[in-house]
Amino acid sequence: MAKGIRKYLSCNVGKSVCMHIGLMVAAFIYALQGETIIYASEGINVDYHNEGEIKAYYDSCVFYDGVTYSQTPVTTAPYASGRLSNETMQGALNMLNFIRYVAGISYHVTLNDEYSRLVQTGTLLNAVNGRMEHAPAKPANMSDDLYQAGYTGTSSANLGWGYQTLTSTIKDGWMAEEDSINITILGHRRWILNPAMKMTGFGKTDLYTAMYVFDSFGAATDKYGVAWPAQVMPTSFFSSNSPWSISMGYDVDYNSVNVKLTCITNGKTWSFSKSHADGELYVDNQWYGVPGCIIFRPNGIGCYNPGDVYKVEITGLRQNVSYEVKFFDLNSVTASSSYSGNTYLGGSTSTEQYVEVTEPAN
């Protein structure tokens, strides 16, 4: 069990043109106040969204700041799983899809009733036992069918404890991954940012939360270099204590990786390798969503401010990786009229919180 902790790359632009050069290089050209600004990324393949587009998507969402039920869970024998209201589940789904939109991967994940039934029963199981576990014991007087459904749910899900809402669990728990145990693998974040995910489900009983994450496990995807913070990043979604990550989709050799992080705003640099790190560096090749995750957390950053721009350069991979991250304030930009996505249902609150990662399937 691991304790969980609970905010840039584009300009405000009039036009944007995206050109892919070969398989690994993307060049983005923007016109801003009569100037042409060229930004190039190398070694990643994710979609790019500018500040106005992200703002427009965010404004189209309803992030339900509460939890209601269509059927209330019963945590004493004879027990009942309960069911979250459509409003609650849609709000959680909107938070998930917004995060995936920012990251530049598929943002059309849908709800699956069976997944929701399993993870809702899983949260009931953990609430009855009073413990957050992926392999919970069978409570006294619980039917075999109910127990098996709950066990399947807990063993296929991101789990959380202590969060008031599902949106806060997603944003401030599973995506943050700031604690000393989860930082080494970032399993929750990587499941959420699995490019192949198509469906999910949510559950909550008392302070126990769950999200089904094994959908499309191991499925092929053309997206690689999925990074968080993303190329254009709302400050409210990334704290100074959150680790940076990028998932390559193939095994990465920890002995060979070298990461250089440069704050273009003030010129400060951080280096990360096996022999030296200006902070923390980890590599994890397990299949949490996809393998080959490079994780680094720089020392001495007080906060990420709107307008700050960072450059990430990584060597020691199949091909060098280079991209920039620009932070911005969601409340200070104008929504772009070029956004044409669907409307999805977000705020968040939290208390003392814990999160537990789901192990990859064998």
Position of tokens 């969601």?
A: 330
Mean pLDDT of the chain: 86
At 101-154, the pLDDT tens digits run 999 999 999 999 999 999 999 999 999 999 999 999 999 999 999 999 999 999
What is the model's pLDDT at position 1?
35
Q: What percent of the chain has pLDDT over 70?
A: 81
Q: What is the CATH number of the domain that holds 255?
A: 3.40.33.10
For residue 27, is pLDDT > 80?
no
Residue 361 included in any domain = no
Q: Is residue 183 part of a domain?
A: yes
Specify if 173 maps to a domain: yes
**Percentage of the chain with pLDDT > 90?**
78
Tell me, yes or no, whether 44 lies in a domain.
yes
pTM: 0.85
pLDDT of residue 47: 97
Q: pLDDT tens-digit profile of 62-85?
A: 998 899 999 999 999 999 999 999
**Spatial contact of 327 and 45, defined as CB atoms under 8 Å apart:** no
Within a domain: residue 161?
Answer: yes
| Beta bridge partners of residue 80, listed in sequence order | 74
Does 17 have pLDDT greater than 60? Answer: no
Asked which of 33-42, 126-135, 338-347 is least confident by mean pLDDT, the reply is: 338-347
Q: Does the residue 178 lie in any domain?
A: yes
Confidence of residue 352 (pLDDT cuts 50, 70, 90): very low
- Note down the domain range covering 266: 2-6+8-356
Q: What is the DSSP string of 205-250?
A: ETTEEEEE--TTTT---S-B-EEES-SEEEGGG--TTSPEEEE-SS
pLDDT tens by residue, 251-298:
999 999 999 999 999 999 999 999 999 999 999 999 999 999 999 999
Q: Given pLDDT bands bounded at 50, 70 and 90, which one contains residue 356?
A: low
How far does CA 232 lie from the centroid of its chain?
14
> What is the structure's pLDDT at 307?
96
321-328 vs 232-234, strand pairing mode: parallel
Q: What is the pLDDT of residue 274?
A: 97
362 inside domain: no
Question: pLDDT value at position 218?
Answer: 65
What does the alpha-carbon distance between residue 9 and residue 231 come to, in Å, rounded to a whole number?
Answer: 5
- Looking at the domain assignment, is residue 31 inside a domain? yes
Domain tally for the chain?
Answer: 1
Quickly list DSSP for 62-91. Answer: ----S--EEE--B-STT-B--EE-HHHHHH
Cα 197 to Cα 110: distance, rounded to the nearest angstrom: 9
pLDDT number for residue 21: 32
Pull the structure tokens for residue 10.
């584009």
- pLDDT band at 344; cut points 50, 70, 90: very low
